[in-house]
Amino acid sequence: MEETRPLLRPLEDAVTAQQPHTAEYEDTLLAFNPQGDTDNPRDWPASYQWGITALLAFMAFTVTFTCLSVIPVAGHVIADLSPTHQPSRSATVLLVTIWELGEAAGPLLIAPLSELYGRAPVFNCANTLFILGVALSALSPTTGALISARFLTGCAVASNVLNPAVIGDIFPPESRGSAMSAVMLAPLIGGAVGPAIAGAIAQSAGWRQIMWMSVLLAVIAEFLFLTLFRETYSGAILRRRATRLQQEKRGELDEPLESACERVLSQKPGSQSAVIWQAMQRPAKVFRSSLVLQLLSLYGAVAFSFFYTMSTTLPEMLQTQYGFSPALIGSSFLTFSESPPPPS
């Protein structure tokens, strides 16, 4: 099935209806040159495309590491933040699971924003919020503040929704398998080594040092995004071309091209809000109309339930029944490397 770009429809319709595809039209920079275009992500050097893939994998590793690193020490964290009270079992469970509530809510806004403004600005904003959320977790003085910071951090996770989109932007369909495998391998590794490293750090230096390590990883990832990552979404790239064309050839464009540029660039705030709201409703509409998706979602819900039931009960059992230290409890999660990737 041919891929489509819904947000580019006004531009494509305007140009198709009002002007034939000529060499002069290609010079307007309103479409990628099919013979080769340096701005077309699929025409970038293979080394750079795989560099972006490695960067996406590194961010996915950081996210999963941060998410699951608290599992072996969740009870110790709650006890440290509530020294005068008996540690609450519900607070321990919520500390581990609240992340997923944020990850479920965040993509509803991240996905449509990436189609309106491009992948790069949304990635950078989300990564910045992610860093702030993890830093707040490290500085949290109370259990409530820590749980709220974890929820905020989960909402700011952009890799789980934008990584596949970026891979689709830079690779043709027949070449995406290897890149997606690399990106999916990173959360698997993060889910395996994250608790093991976190347990050892918590035992020797305290649980807050785990958070600061996550901050360091996220800062490194964001620095690489700022310096190396280029916009990959064709809609955003072509809109910038249209803006540059209007600025460079002000008053010199013929009527069809001027009209095409205006139709792409003249988006009122109300229309943007409508696009975002429509995109936020789309998952519910698709879910309601697809029995296959409902069954897969049921399977995913059961799998998540078992995963988090084990994650919240295994550390306490290993500590009370077998006398494991936090480092040994974390090491027991290395067995995740033999299972499907945990949620990231």
For residue 311, give both structure tokens. Answer: 């994650």
- 3-class DSSP state for residue 233? coil
Q: How far is residue 44's CA from residue 66's CA, in Å, rounded to a whole number? A: 32
Q: What is the mean pLDDT of residues 42-62?
A: 93
**Per-residue pLDDT at 249:** 62
The one-letter code for the residue type at 178 is S
341 and 303 Cβ atoms separated by less than 8 Å:
no
pLDDT at 111 over 70: yes
Question: What does the radius of gyration of the chain's CA atoms come to, in whole angstroms?
Answer: 23
- Fill in the DSSP letter of residue 106: T
Q: What are the distances in angstroms from CA 244 to CA 59, 145, 200?
A: 32, 46, 53
pLDDT at 35 over 70: yes
DSSP 109-134: HHHHHHHHH-HHHHHHHHHHHHHHHH
Long-range contacts of 242-248 (CB under 8 A, 24+ apart): 242/11, 242/29, 242/30, 244/29, 245/28, 245/29, 245/30
- 3-class DSSP state for residue 17? helix
pLDDT at 6 over 80: no
Q: What is the mean pLDDT of residues 172-196?
A: 88
DSSP 278-298: HHHHHHHHHHHH-HHHHHHHH
Query: What tens digit of pLDDT does each residue of 310-344 get?
Result: 888 888 888 888 888 888 888 888 876 544 444 44
Q: What is the mean pLDDT of residues 38-52?
A: 91
Query: What tens digit of pLDDT does each residue of 223-247 get?
Result: 999 999 999 988 888 878 777 776 6
How would residue 157 be classed by pLDDT, with cut points 50, 70 and 90? very high
**Per-residue pLDDT at 21:** 42
Phi-psi region of 231 (alpha: psi -120 to 50; beta: other; left: phi over 0): beta
**Per-residue pLDDT at 339:** 44
Name the phi and psi angles at 11, rounded to 5. Answer: -65, -50
For residue 171, give both structure tokens. Answer: 């690779």
Sequence-ordered list of residues with C-beta below 8 angstroms from that of 236, at least 6 positions apart, any chain:
117, 118, 119, 120
pLDDT at 171 over 90: yes
For residue 115, give both structure tokens. Answer: 């189609």
pLDDT at 176 over 60: yes
Looking at the chain, the number of H-run helices and the number of E-run strands are 16, 0
Q: How far is residue 108's CA from residue 317's CA, in Å, rounded to a whole number? A: 37
The one-letter code for the residue type at 21 is H
Sequence-ordered list of residues with C-beta below 8 angstroms from that of 261, at least 6 positions apart, any chain:
30, 242, 243, 245, 246, 253
Q: How far is residue 241's CA from residue 28's CA, in Å, rounded to a whole number? A: 8
How would residue 7 be classed by pLDDT, with cut points 50, 70 and 90? very low
153 and 251 Cβ atoms separated by less than 8 Å:
no
Query: What tens digit of pLDDT does each residue of 71-87 get?
Result: 888 888 888 888 766 66
Angle at 11 between CA 266 and CA 111, to 5 degrees: 75
Spatial CA neighbour of 166 closest among 158, 155, 154, 156: 158
pLDDT at 289 over 80: yes
The label of the residue with tokens 């040159």 reads 33
pLDDT at 266 over 80: no
Instruction: Round the average pLDDT of the chain to a whole number and report it.
Output: 80
Range with lowest mean pLDDT among 12-26, 93-107, 276-290: 12-26
Spatial CA neighbour of 126 closest among 59, 212, 210: 59
